[in-house]
Amino acid sequence: MNLHNLLYTVEGDICIITINRPDKLNALNKETISEVGMAIDAAVQDADVRGIIITGSGSKAFVAGADISEFASYNLAQGMELSAHGHAVFNKVEHCPKPVIAAVNGFALGGGCELAMACHMRVAASNARFGQPEVKLGLIPGYAGTQRLPQLIGKGRAMELLMTADMIDAAEAHRLGLVNHVTEPDQLLDTCRAILTKISAQAPLAISEIIRTVNAYYDKTQNGFQTEIERFGACFTTEDVREGTDAFLNKRKAEFKGR
């Protein structure tokens, strides 16, 4: 497997997938998203792997979002394609028949929060920060954040986070139910390993059926996922997305016009 943006290691029966673009705070460009899909496929196919941890390289970020520099000039069709690609890969994470834990070691913003939410559970280091800041860019989440955040923390709280673009710390994420546990940064991976070790003691086929069956409860949201793909694409027909992305890339405050 030829990976440019990920580290893929297997330790015993645990596969660790590390998003590895630390100079860009592990932002997800298209290639990285494709590689996440390839890495999940490889871990599923490896009979020795019983569980998967997804984390970020460095001490600052899990993933600081989709790579804004890649989509700043997108149109509707490109926006929809980007979103649909992210959905396909993150659905693969969500439906992975082996348990997947997000080890959130810093910023989990936008696509990073969405990647963590696609995992079966989340463990946060005490320095982790979560948020869906897309509206600051004139956008909405494109990797199913509008669908999975309400599932995890409830509609009202999700609406607030999605509309305010507020960033929350690990303790608040724990209070809201977005993360299962908060640990010191140096305990993060060991905490995830300990959970996966407990799960490995159970029947693997039963674990796969748990994942399939719990996910089945949420299947009725499929139309919401399609709506997100279409409306994410539609954001790219606005002037505000040009302004928001240009402002970010040029390190200035955005001035939105509402068109």
Residues of this chain that interact with ligand COA (CB under 6 A) are 24-25, 27, 64-69, 107, 109-111, 133-134, 137
CB 47 within 8 A of CB 97: no
- Compute the chain's Rg from CA coordinates: 17
Characterize the bridge pairing of strands 168-169 and 14-19: unpaired
* Residue of 35, 94, 114, 228 marked catalytic: 114
Residue closer to ligand COA (CB basis): 84 or 195: 84
Using the minimum distance from each CB to ligand COA, give the nearer residue, 225 or 248: 248
The residue type of 139 is L
Residue 70 annotated among the catalytic residues of the structure: no
Tokens at 7, concatenated = 């580290």
Amino acid at 156: G
Burial class (CB in 10 A: 0-12, 13-18, 19+), 92: middle
Give the residue among 92, 107, 248 at the shortest CA–CA distance from 169.
107
Cβ at position 70, least distance to ligand COA in Å: 8
Residue 74 or 107 with smaller CB distance to ligand COA: 107
Q: How far is the CB of 69 from ligand COA (least distance, A)?
A: 5
Q: Provide the 10 A C-beta neighbour count for residue 217.
A: 9
Nearer to ligand COA, 25 or 119 (CB): 25
Tell me how far, at minimum, the Cβ of 229 lies from ligand COA, in Å. Answer: 15
Question: Nearer to ligand COA by C-beta: 67 or 240?
Answer: 67
Give least dist CB 66 to ligand COA, A. 4
| Smallest separation (angstroms) from ligand COA to the CB of 231 | 14
Identity of the residue, 39 or 68, whose beta carbon is nearer to ligand COA in the bound complex: 68
Task: For residue 120, report the phi and psi dihedrals to the nearest 5 degrees.
Answer: -75, -25
What is the smallest separation between the CB atom of 244 and ligand COA, expressed in angstroms?
9
Cα distance between residue 44 and residue 8, in whole Å: 13
Within the chain, what is the greatest distance between any pair of CA atoms? 56
**Contact of 19 with 28, CB cutoff 8 Å:** yes
Tell me the two tokens of residue 103. Answer: 């080890």
114 is catalytic: yes
Q: Is 256 helix (H, G, I), strand (E, B) or coil?
A: coil
Q: Which one is catalytic: 70, 134, 160, 239? A: 134
DSSP state of 74: -
> Active-site residues: which are they?
114, 134
